[in-house]
Structure 1
């Protein structure tokens, strides 16, 4: 009987944890989840066991993480092996829940889908297999219960889908998901709010919204402040220093490349300053090159400056064209530097 298997495997896992044998505890917990999968299949018209399934799956992921640390130290096998195996077990439960097409909304096992997806997200992000998230996202987007899952599960789901959208350069979508996650996160969950902001802030910056110092101080995220200041000023060299100073933080949290993408916005802001100083719609490329050198980009020549301007025009960050005959940037007389959130 699956129930006796669940109890036996659970007791074996608990005993292994007591002995600090994390690898064996993980193996026994895999047995727990496998038995629960069988149990769910046998429950044709019930779903009361979903909380048991959720607890077992959370414990499986946590034990996989602990086993991963042991494997990493031993160098004996791939340290992601346990996490990959955990993902397979979680997918077994997910398939049972997703395939329950009973018309009774109250008794369907599909209520367990989002909790499982959030656990799978945590594993896939850990082992860097974000491509596996796409079908899971589609499963929820197409679910009739999309807006009816618990708020905590929706906050977690949007946090991970927001991060996925950010890595896919879908910044508007990333902003919407992460903004929802931040606004609906429990007001006392400062740690989780900070975690969300680590990704929401660079997304907002790419859309042209620079963070306020008070917000960064409140959530201990002042690592972003020097970068934000440099971007406002159009100071590429200052941005490089800001990124280098907090490089460990940015790399650890996976936003280093996002900060590098902000360099183009710094260039755009610098050229906008030149436009206002010269007060003309025909700006000599040489003037832009001088501005670049003054901001610390000493190795840029006129041709490289022209290429940089062309990229900004192509990205709709500048409205205009380059007159190669006269070596000038000719900008639109109406809104030549459109707001970034309107073009991203």
Structure 2
């Protein structure tokens, strides 16, 4: 099967450009569109035929696009990245010159998304050949930032013609790059720009879900669990129900955040989205079963590390300690608990701790407000409050 002729393709692009049909051009300049798979669009030197049908500035964009397709067909992603990058640099000048219109935004969304994906392929291709991993993605981010600045500088307030409504799509692409190359500090000014935007509530819901997913993850890494819960919950609740893969991805971060705040996820939800790894962990934390907790951390270590949540999940151990100590308190039925009793409970669950380490764990729990009381070093006892010594974790947020 062959696609339409190159001449027909170029004529459609010319007509669409004259008619300011950004959506149609975006479709026909996408690396994921059907035309990109056919050899008659994969041309090493397309200047001659393109110049017969197209004029500036579109001719330059399409020349770079066809050269990019040729490079991809040869599996040369470094070369493809070079051409896609040149395409965006050329497009940015055009976008800047269009003073009172924003019909080009769909084109920008497409070519910027394609640049990030090509940059990822190029990174893989030169893996091991460089001492600077992430360098191509970082350069790609600079290209995206150039588009972002053009959009942010548009001071018109009318939503239908301002380029500022294109900011969030670019921010989401930049987030994807910064998270991949582990430069989360670069997200901060982008978050400020969106939070102060008059169009904050007008951005498409899909873009808002992506934005809140990444801001929630950043808040989680910053140990701001209340904000992380708020953003990730919004992302999960507003993510389309048919996007099971995305809902699962959000849940991977939302579950440990919820647990740190004292909320227990339902087994039904964990099963539905195939993150049942968390259910045994929920049981271990609730029961204060430190041996099971350690075994699960080891068993699911690669999953937690791959998702970037190992350190967050490991913080749940402090809640397991609290729940174990609560059991000891209930068994002994006294407000003055010998430190030895707590140490024995820890040792019975495979924890190799001495009295000093046991006191240290207890001191942390008291400091964090998870237990109300104090340590009497003289009597080697933990004296807990007579009123609500183990406050609900949800009340601490």
Category of TM-score, reference length = shorter chain: over 0.9
Distance in 2 (CA, whole Å) between partners of 1:103 and 1:183 is: 30
SS in 1 for 2:210: helix
Distance in 1 (CA, whole Å) between partners of 2:331 and 2:297 is: 28
Residue correspondence of structure 1 range 1-344 to structure 2 within 5 A: 1-72=56-127, 75-76=129-130, 78-297=132-351, 299-344=352-397
Q: Deviations over 1:71-99 (max 9, x none)?
A: 11x52463412111110000000011111
SS in 1 for 2:383: strand
Distance in 1 (CA, whole Å) between partners of 2:69 and 2:83 is: 9
SS in 1 for 2:374: strand
Q: TM-score, normalised by structure 1?
A: 0.96
Contact 1:208 1:340 survives alignment (8 Å): yes
- In structure 1, stretches of 5+ residues that fail to align are none
Q: Deviations over 1:246-297 (max 9, x none)?
A: 1111110001111111111100010111111122222121111111112221
Distance in 2 (CA, whole Å) between partners of 1:60 and 1:305 is: 53
Distance in 2 (CA, whole Å) between partners of 1:193 and 1:122 is: 17
How many angstroms does 1:214 deviate by? 1.9
SS in 2 for 1:329: strand
Contact 1:71 1:78 survives alignment (8 Å): no
How many angstroms does 1:226 deviate by? 2.1
Distance in 2 (CA, whole Å) between partners of 1:95 and 1:143 is: 14
Q: Residues 26, 235 of structure 1: CA spacing in aligned structure 2 closer, same or farther, 3 A cutoff?
A: same
- In structure 2, stretches of 5+ residues that fail to align are 1-55
SS in 2 for 1:283: strand
Distance in 2 (CA, whole Å) between partners of 1:207 and 1:77 is: 41
SS in 2 for 1:321: strand
Distance in 2 (CA, whole Å) between partners of 1:291 and 1:18 is: 63
Distance in 1 (CA, whole Å) between partners of 2:263 and 2:357 is: 28
Contact 1:68 1:80 survives alignment (8 Å): yes
Distance in 2 (CA, whole Å) between partners of 1:309 and 1:21 is: 58
How many angstroms does 1:132 deviate by? 0.4
State which drifts further: 50-59 or 15-24.
15-24
How many angstroms does 1:2 deviate by? 3.5
SS in 2 for 1:311: helix
Distance in 2 (CA, whole Å) between partners of 1:126 and 1:209 is: 29
Q: TM-score, normalised by structure 2?
A: 0.84
RMSD: 1.2
Distance in 2 (CA, whole Å) between partners of 1:343 and 1:221 is: 27
SS in 2 for 1:24: helix
